[in-house]
Amino acid sequence: MAADPLIAELLAIVGPEGVLSSPAELSVYASDGNPLWRALPRAVVLPREHGEVEQVMATLFRHGVPVVARGAGTGLSGGALPVPGGVIVGMNRMNRVLAIDPDNRRALVESGVINAQLSAAARAWGLEFAPDPSSQAACTVGGNVAENSGGAHCLKYGVTSQHILALEVVQADGRALWLGSPHRETPGLDLRGLFVGSEGTMGVCTRLWVRLIPLRASVETVLAMFDRVEDASEAVSGVIASGVLPAALEMMDQLAIAAVERGTHPVGFPADLGAVLLLEVDGGEEQCAEDTADILAQLQRRRPRAVVRADRPAQRELWWQNRKTAFGSMGRIAPAYYVQDGVIPRTALVDVLRRVTRVGEGAGLRIANVFHAGDGNLHPLILFDPRTPGSVERVLSAGTEVLAACVEAGGAISGEHGIGVEKREEMRFMFSEQDLALMDRVRLAMDPTGRMNPGKLLPTPGRCIDRPGLEAPAAPGS
């Protein structure tokens, strides 16, 4: 392993347990949660503290090596996909909650802290970290920052960017700086906001101050079952239009229901059910009761088959486990799936879901829909068998059609999964060449050599991957 001069230098910084370079070890890092793109890195480095990250980045800079920062690898857009000849800087071992400041409702954490573990640590002070992606039991806070992750409760509490106060970032050349402030307000340009959602193209986040919120005093959870997706979609718009803002408003269609009922947390939904809504309100006890009554009235106007209020914590927990294991449950009904992540206005739900159905029918593919209905963040799961010749190409084409439909309806190509390699060419659906060129210039201001996660986020060819020695990740099957 030490025959490679770069590997020898990295070993001197982080020790033998902190460098992976054998083919078997590297294969674990060949993709993130999107398996359609795969590549092997030159090496994986696993630093344990901020100073090691600075040294590692300075070393990689001297060697002219592309860098991909990686958290838990749960991303779904290929954002943590290795770059040919590049090195992955894995942040998993930097997983400490360094300080909790309950008086100011904030915490200082390393970027490798698991999302759910941060909330668990804060709970002793009656606080929690609001962003709650379905992968929160595994995903890291640094990964949430990279993708600006959302979650079921972002309808009320906002996505990750609303909960990040300050970030310590190591730049491509090894120099570190803080963006933002733990004191919430910072004069000048909002560089913290610029970094959140930049998908690792501007540096490696090592430590961060996050905002914590009080634990919810009272929670009411409602499950509504419908014979038709159209009725459930109209109920979503009716609830929001009524003036009630649920903490969460989720939907699953018939095919998704079939999968979760065969999964690890079945609820007992009827097989012929067209759609399910899962709604949650929180706050003070009186306000919770009023909001729940208003929601129940709105749901009853949309011809539900049944509406049920959770009468005990275990029932509420089961409903949420059922919803949050939906992606994994797809393996019960298909060999593989490909998930998209578009956003549309709530009022366009009926029309766009019909178009998604037509896309699937035209491609000969089944599509299950599991999504954050309250903020119009769709997650169509395109089911397929990768052993069938031509299936991957049909799936990718169908995914592009779905994103086009979202943009045409007044929406966007991503709500929380990011762009990565998956949707970089579809960025042209939303942005002009001038827009994209400006984004590239801003990115290069933070990383002039273009070695931070090249080939991601922006369409190709782009300046960062036109430079000698830097390649974009290849397309599936190439």
Say which CATH topology domain 334-452 has: Alpha-Beta Plaits (3.30.70)
The number of angstroms, rounded, from the C-alpha of 159 to the middle of its chain's C-alpha atoms is 10
CATH of domain 5-90: 3.30.43.10
Q: Is 273 exposed, middle or buried (0-12, 13-18, 19+ CB in 10 A)?
A: buried
Average pLDDT (408-434) is 96
- The domain limits of the chain are 5-90, 97-214, 216-327, 334-452
In this predicted structure, what is the pLDDT of residue 455? 95
Residues 191-237: tens digit of each pLDDT:
999 999 999 999 999 999 999 999 999 999 999 999 999 999 999 99
CB contact at 8 A, 6 and 43? yes
In this predicted structure, what is the pLDDT of residue 417? 95
Strands 342-343 and 377-378 come out as antiparallel
Task: State the helix-helix crossing angle for 349-363 and 229-241, rounded to 10 degrees.
Answer: 150
Average pLDDT (59-88) is 96
* Whether the predicted pLDDT of 463 surpasses 50: no
User: In sequence order, what DSSP letters do the residues of 219-266 get, joined into one string?
Assistant: EEEEEEEES-HHHHHHHHHHHHHTT---SEEEEEEHHHHHHHTTSSS-
Average pLDDT of the chain, as a whole number: 94
* Whether the predicted pLDDT of 410 surpasses 70: yes
Q: How far apart are CA 53 and CA 47, in angstroms?
A: 6
In this predicted structure, what is the pLDDT of residue 1? 43
pTM of the model: 0.93
CB contact at 8 A, 222 and 307? yes
Question: Under DSSP, is residue 288 helix (H, G, I), strand (E, B) or coil?
Answer: helix
The helix (H) or strand (E) run that includes residue 214 is strand 213-214
* Whether the predicted pLDDT of 477 surpasses 70: no
CATH number of this structure's domain 97-214, picked from the four choices 3.40.50.1000, 3.30.930.10, 3.30.465.10, 2.60.120.260: 3.30.465.10
Say which CATH topology domain 216-327 has: Alpha-Beta Plaits (3.30.70)
Q: Do domains 216-327 and 334-452 have the same CATH topology?
A: yes
In this predicted structure, what is the pLDDT of residue 331? 95
